[in-house]
Amino acid sequence: MKYNFSKIEKKWQKYWEKHKLFEAKDFSKKPKYYCLIEFPYPSGDGLHVGHTRSYTAMDIIARKRRMEGYNVLFPIGWDAFGLPTENYAIKTGIHPKIVTKKNTNKFRKQLKSLGFSFDWKREINTSDPDYYKWTQWIFLQFFKHGLAYKSKIPINWCPSCKIGLANEEVINNKCERCGTPTTKKEKEQWLLAITKYAEKLLQGLENIDYLEKIKIQQRNWIGKSEGTLVKFPIADSQKILEVFTTRIDTIFGCTYMVVAPEHQIINDLKSNIINFEEVEKYIEEAKQKSDLQRTELNKEKTGIELKGVKAINPFTKKQIPVFIADYVLANYGTGAVMAVPAHDIRDWDFAKKYNLPIIESIKGGDVSKQAFTEDGILVNSGEFTGLTSKQARQKMTEWLEKNNLGGRMIQYHLRDWIFSRQHYWGEPIPMVNCEKCGWVPVPEKELPVKLPNVKNYKPTDSGESPLAAIDWWVNSKCPKCKGPAKRETDTMPNWAGSSWYFLRYIDPKNKKQLADNKKLKYWMPVDWYNGGMEHTTLHLLYSRFWNQFLYDIKAVPTPEPYKKRTSHGMILGADGEKMSKSRGNVVNPDDVVKQYGADTYRLYQMFMGPFDQATPWDTKGIEGAKRFNNKIWLIGQIKISKKSQNKELEKLLHKTIKKVSEDIETMSFNTAVAALMIFINECYAQKEVPQKIWEDFLKILSPFAPHLSEELWQKLGKKKSICLEQWPKYNKSLIQEGNFTLVIQINGKTRDTLLAPINITQDLVLELALKQENIKKYIPDKSAIKKIIFVPNKLINIVI
RNA sequence: GCCGCGGUGGUGGAAUUGGCAGACACGCAGGACUUAAAAUCCUGUGGCCUCAAAAGCCAUGAGGGUUCGAGUCCCUCCCGCGGCACCA
């Protein structure tokens, strides 16, 4: 009688696999539905409870869609290239391929033990040469379309790992992997010109169903701002300093300029700078600092005047000093700013410190006390005096255009994507460097460029990839002139493989294309993609970029890859802190499944709190899910009756169907489970539960607790899987109540309630209300009533 | 410093979007069953007041405001979490 979950769960997992219940069918006549979860990185630690919560959620949606008659694609794979595996290889000498195989085996077993309805036939692995052949192919298309280029840029450098890091890989001024503080280094890197897609990425957001906060975050990250480019001539020189500003209206108050320490102009004007030694020293110091350190210096701004260099304000024609300061970043905008202390807080602080003039050019504040940063009416601005800021921006920009000193400019915060890594465990970049021809792409028919075996996975001390040490591999022939050439030894970042994996699921074995066109047309776009907020500005934006590019070259049929995007909250440790090994608050899914079974685990994860918010793990809380599970089992064993009827229970069933159906769509899984619990509590109180009612309940339970539902379904004598059943529809007329509880308020405070028939009129309500004992106390006679607010089928509020 | 998300009983959290605050669950207390424990079942469970109940009052981070009515809307502030690129 006792529910033997481990036996029963295994039984049904085998059954599903044997009967291929979750295999998606290409070109089925049913409408298609593509559910996507973020595929895991198979780390050595195994599956995390954070994974399973979001996978359970999407599994519920996938199972519901199948029952609603959709041909569902719910695939799984491995984002297998990455640093932890490489670090592990460095430590142990075991090949990353072997480590990955071991880890994916473990993950696969774990995922299967939870009963997820993945289509395992479409399993992919980004480190598989048959997969990364196409990652390389896409890179070649980027190159051929001028969107992949090499550039010498200041990059974050980890002196310990001896690799270049993208900004997003530097956490708190330290290397993401080893914690060593990073410095700057000039390095030739491959970049992808994502900025060329800034406008498209922005526009694309208009017509897709992403959570608003996700759109906001992407928009902020892309950071479009419309403003003005201004050219400041340098006195006694042919050079000019270009500046981008959104506040051209304040330019008459521009009393100095600031350039980034890395700015080219410093070298160009080297001979003019009197205090070059001092300047050089400052530049060296800035190199040691990360962007974040520069940020921390916020309170105490530093800078050095470039003595001997004067810029000319194109409007006032006055000569103004030029400073270098590390709070201006070289890789944003033009790397130089015009400083208007009267109307910018940061410039005001800087001007006070270095005793620079503060000239008001917008009326409205007291600039001797603080910067006035709002729009207003221009003063001290020559022919522009008296205009509003808005008018002035227009007129002044036109003036600049006329005089060839600048003009309208759109600036994006988004930066091009640094695409090279000096690692072993990544996709080799399929390029060859020929002395005569320069960078030449490897011919497509020679793809994939396979990762060769190496003995040492550590980057060389010069910062080159470990691949650089393999002469036979590096030395190659130029595909163009057949002369001697060297292979690119950098590999791609771990985001490469994940930028297009959703396409490969559609046709995972295709040898000729990344995926068959007709299949792509059938399945794309992804209908619902759920993932973490932390991927919003990296993976999510990158994959949108790749898909948009592939669309432009006609390799995929839709401009946007994902129709709908939602996000999940983190599972915190029992202490309310982020789960981490060092805190010792990590919960292992295996332990929970072993002790409670997959269904209880699934139910608890859905019940523990709102899906989109962080919730702490509660070891006690899972007991509730277990009791719920046991109650269902018990009812299924002893209370089901073919003959009996129960109108009230039927009503509750239909309410529950409605609630659960709607809550799944809004990912309000916690309240959906609560509704199921309410229903079960009611059943539990009954002597008998009519089988018809029970059948529908099992159907709506099945996405949450699939094994238990199958078992109880079979107990009813059913021959086919409950997965093949139709999702029940609720009966509207059964849900409508004849009576409702009407709230009687006096001066907005609830004083009594009344059971009233639906659609009762105000007059009748008032009459009934005044008869209530409690109300009589407050309203001795009708003349005391000043006002009545009546909300039909809800409440009456009597103001006295 | 900036951006985003939050703050509701002892705990996780509900609240049809401005209409009975605390659904559901955990925990706790009392009781039943048991030699006993576990499991299970029943009852109670925001605070104050009360022997108890009814009634009343207070209560959704703090303080104001709008409204017949505010957890929900507006303003000011405090705290927690996550992200960050002083973005000109």
Residues in a beta bridge with A32: A71
Which nucleotide is closest, CA of A534 to its C1'?
B83
CB A690 within 8 A of CB A646: yes
Cis peptide leading into residue A448 (ω within 30°): yes
Q: How far is the CA of A630 from the C1' of B37 (A)?
A: 21
Q: Would you say the C-beta of A729 is within 7 Å of strand B?
A: no
| pLDDT for residue A594 | 93
Distance CA A354, CA A356 (A): 6
Which SS3 state, helix, strand or coil, does residue A327 take?
coil
The tokens for A119 are 């289509």
Name A residues 276-315 whose Cβ lies under 7 Å from strand B: 291-292, 294-295, 297-298, 301
Q: Residue A193 has what DSSP assignment?
A: -
Q: Tokens for A408, please give them.
A: 């309208």
Smallest CA–C1' separation from A624, nucleotide = B25
Bond preceding residue A525 cis, omega within 30 of 0:
yes
Element of type H or E holding A520: helix A517-523
Cα A3 to chain centroid, rounded? 40
CB A613 within 7 Å, strand B: yes
**pTM recorded for the entire structure:** 0.90
Two structure tokens written together for A555: 């390799």
Looking at residue A175, what is its pLDDT? Answer: 65
State which nucleotides on strand B lie below 7 Å from a protein beta carbon: 1, 3-6, 11-15, 19-21, 23-27, 39-42, 55-57, 68-70, 81-88
Please give the helix or strand (H or E) that residue A672 lies within, else none.
helix A669-685
Is the minimum distance from the CB of A5 to strand B below 7 Å? Answer: no
Are A297 and A265 in contact by the 8 Å Cβ rule? The answer is no
A167 in contact with nucleic chain B (CB within 7 A): yes
Residues 216-235 in A having a C-beta less than 7 A from any atom of strand B are 216-217, 220-221, 223, 225, 227
CA distance A60 to A643: 32
Q: Is residue A195's beta carbon less than 7 angstroms from any atom in nucleic acid strand B? A: no
At A370, the amino acid letter reads Q
A638 Cβ within 7 A of any nucleic strand B atom: no
H or E segment to which residue A188 belongs: strand A183-192
Residue A522 sits at the vertex; the CA angle it makes with A516 and A528, to the nearest 5 degrees, is 115
Buried b (16+ CB within 10 A) or exposed e, A466-499: bbbbbeebbebebeeeeeebbbbbbbbbbbbbbb
DSSP A416: -
CA of A189 to C1' of B13 (A): 50
CA dist A334 and A328 (Å) reads 10
Separation of A670 CA and B15 C1' (Å): 14
Do residues A521 and A557 lie in contact, with contact meaning Cβ atoms separated by under 8 Å?
yes
Cβ contact A606 with chain B strand, < 7 A: no
Closest C-alpha among A94, A141, A1, A113 to residue A51: A113
For A550-581, what is the HEC assignment?
HHHCCCCCCCCCECEEEEECCEECCCCCECCC
The strand pairing partners of A784, in sequence order, are none
Number of Cβ within a 10 Å radius of residue A231: 18
How is A2-63 classified by DSSP, letter by letter?
---HHHHHHHHHHHHHHTTTT---TT-SSPEEEEEEPPPP--TT---HHHHHHHHHHHHHHH
Query: Encoding tokens for residue A7?
Result: 């036996």
Contact indicator for A306, A268 with CB cutoff of 8 Å? no
Divide the 800 residues of chain A into consecutive groups of 10 and give the mean pLDDT of each group: 87 96 96 95 86 94 97 96 84 89 94 96 95 96 94 74 62 63 77 91 90 86 88 90 91 92 87 90 76 55 87 94 85 84 83 89 82 85 91 93 92 85 90 93 93 80 80 91 92 90 96 96 95 86 94 96 91 79 81 93 93 88 92 91 90 94 95 95 91 96 97 95 96 82 83 81 82 75 80 83
C-alpha distances in angstroms, A320 versus A302, A306, A340? 18, 11, 12
Predicted pLDDT of residue A300: 64
Structure ipTM: 0.92
Determine the pLDDT at residue A297.
44
Nucleotide lying nearest to A746, CA to C1' measure: B68
Nearest nucleotide to A300 (CA to C1') is: B86
| Nucleotide B62 C1' to residue A725 CA (A) | 54
Residues 349-378 of chain A with CB under 7 A from strand B are: none
Q: Residue A70's pLDDT is what?
A: 97
**A511: number of Cβ within 10 Å:** 6
3-state secondary structure of A393: helix
Distance CA A688, CA A3 (A): 20
A743 in contact with nucleic chain B (CB within 7 A): yes
